[in-house]
Amino acid sequence: MLIDTYGRVATDLRVSLTDRCNLRCTYCMPEEGLQWLAKPDLLTDDEIVRLIRIAVTDLGITEVRFTGGEPLLRPGLVGIVERCAALEPRPRMSITTNGIGLKRTAAALKAAGLDRVNVSLDTLRPEVFKTLTRRDRHKDVIEGMAAAREAGLTPVKVNTVLMPGLNGDEAPDLLAWAVEHDYELRFIEQMPLDAQHGWKRDGMITAGDILTSLRTRFTLTPEGDDERGSAPAERWVVDGGPHTVGVIASVTRPFCGSCDRTRLTADGQVRTCLFAREESDLRAALRSDAGDEEIARLWKLAMWGKKAGSGLDDPSFLQPDRPMSAIGG
């Protein structure tokens, strides 16, 4: 198993399939994009499947989330999902996507064995979407979410980041819309993972701000820690149920003590935390013909050194050198 010195056990693997994205969200990357990883640096489909197999069969991973960049840009995605669905024991599999390609791929992903999707959508207003993402693709995301629901990739979870002066007033409208369409809404505090390193704590919309806004229209009842477990989202029942809304408050209400995640970048580096500044190289071991036992040993060693927390409250905190698109969400 992947255990650290604080007794936490990682059972949830986040796998970045590419650092590329077809949006340019202002809180993630500059308008001109980034210097993408060279193709030889990326893990191949076979290498990804092998690492997931080792994680599932030898290291106790039970959940796999495919991320990016934008994972739907990975040409071999459907095949990767299909091969991982054949593993014993079979992991639960999901994907975090911007939704643009879901209308085209949802049915194939479901047939391959994907269980559900998380879709990033920050606004119901097409003009605000264009400002936030620098692309006019709002309609494609809405249609992609509907296609995922129709394909059975449920529950469809919606990830929303609120930004002052842009979509900061939309929380109640977003929740009403999510309830109407049977989506599970999760607000995420803006995190210091932008490529420009322009994030400022005093400029973010906090979990407290979000909940205050939602309560102007809805009655929210805490679901409780027993239901939450190791999930990053703190959840509330909306107007007595059955729908819930969640807030992932990585900055103001950190949940590091119950974290059960390990992360794999698109170029084969193990990350113990989104905010880590250190990585452990598995790609080199793969390409030097290391056996499964050696790769598992290196992965265990990396996770053993996981820090107690993200360090966001430490005055000496520094953002990771690599942006979110490179390390996976």
134 known member of a binding site: no
pLDDT of 325: 64
**Least confident among 1-5, 12-16, 232-236:** 232-236
84 known member of a binding site: no
Enter the pTM of the model: 0.92
263 known member of a binding site: yes
The crossing angle, in degrees rounded to 10, of helices 171-181 and 207-214 is: 70
120 known member of a binding site: yes
96 known member of a binding site: yes
pLDDT tens digits for 54-102? 999 999 999 999 999 999 999 999 999 999 999 999 999 999 999 999 9
201 known member of a binding site: no
Beta strands in the chain (DSSP E): 2-3, 9-10, 12-16, 63-67, 92-97, 116-120, 157-160, 184-188, 220-222, 234-238, 244-248, 261-264, 269-271, 280-281
pLDDT tens digits for 189-230? 986 555 555 556 677 899 999 999 999 999 999 997 666 667
- Under DSSP, the state recorded for 90 is P
**DSSP-assigned states of every residue in 103-116:** HHHHHHHHHHT--E
pLDDT tens digits for 126-174? 999 999 999 999 999 999 999 999 999 999 999 999 999 999 999 999 9
What's the chain's Rg over C-alpha atoms? 19
| Contact criterion met (CB below 8 Å) for 11 and 63 | yes
pLDDT tens digits for 248-278? 988 888 888 999 999 999 999 999 998 888 8
| Amino acid at the residue 302 | A
262 known member of a binding site: yes
